[in-house]
Chains A and B, each alone.
Chain A
Amino acid sequence: LAKTTQPISMDSYEGQEVNITCSHNNIATNDYITWYQQFPSQGPRFIIQGYKTKVTNEVASLFIPADRKSSTLSLPRVSLSDTAVYYCLVGVFSSNRDDKIIFGKGTRLHILP
């Protein structure tokens, strides 16, 4: 997996849009960008994945510039329940059964009332 850098922590307020940026300067051509969310005392869950431009689902949007050296996870109108750690991962994510996910430090997002 390519090395990623993301802020250690962020605070925001309910109702705001939150953008978490991840840097991945050494991303390879075949790499995808994947984000996970982990609530306190729970296992992580996949939230979104993209390769280029923009991806949107019911939870978040992912913006990837043309050079793909960074990506931004956007959470619209956050609520207190969005308080979690958000992990950015970059890799091929193959179906090889030995392919594994290694988590970095993640961004601890704290939503304030």
Chain B
Amino acid sequence: GAVVSQHPSWVICKSGTSVKIECRSLDFQATTMFWYRQFPKQSLMLMATSNEGSKATYEQGVEKDKFLINHASLTLSTLTVTSAHPEDSSFYICSARGAGRVSYEQYFGPGTRLTVT
């Protein structure tokens, strides 16, 4: 159990366009979802926390108008990178946690590799 999927697994887009990444919890209801980004050879950096039905809480330094997060249901969260630029190229990973679960009981998706040309 506790499977989290992401779609797409990789995407290439042109500079200036927007890209949407989906994160789904397949077999549990995720009251909280997290979005991370990871550059090559670096650690995961938390971008934002989203609770179902609430606005996302962004970490310091993350532009909320550029990285739009929608957690519209208990099984789906989306991250939209708006007006993408080459520096947004990264590995984006989501994670999900069920109601009442402690924080280490969050399950990570396989990641989405974004390349902006």
Binding site for B on A (CB under 8 A): 32, 34, 38, 41-46, 49, 85, 87, 89, 91-106, 108
Say yes or no: A101-B43 contact (C-beta < 8 A), given A41-B91, A43-B95, A43-B109. Answer: no
Complex-state Cα separation, A93 to B103, whole angstroms: 5
Within 8 A of A (CB), among B32-47: 32, 34, 36, 41, 43-46
Q: Is the interface of A mostly helix, strand, loop or mixed?
A: loop
| CB neighbours of B41 from chain A (8 A) | 108
Binding site for A on B (CB under 8 A): 4, 31-32, 34, 36, 41, 43-46, 49, 51, 57, 91, 93-95, 97, 99-111, 113
Complex-state Cα separation, A95 to B110, whole angstroms: 24
| CB neighbours of A98 from chain B (8 A) | 32, 49, 51, 57
B109 nearest CB across to chain A (Å):
5
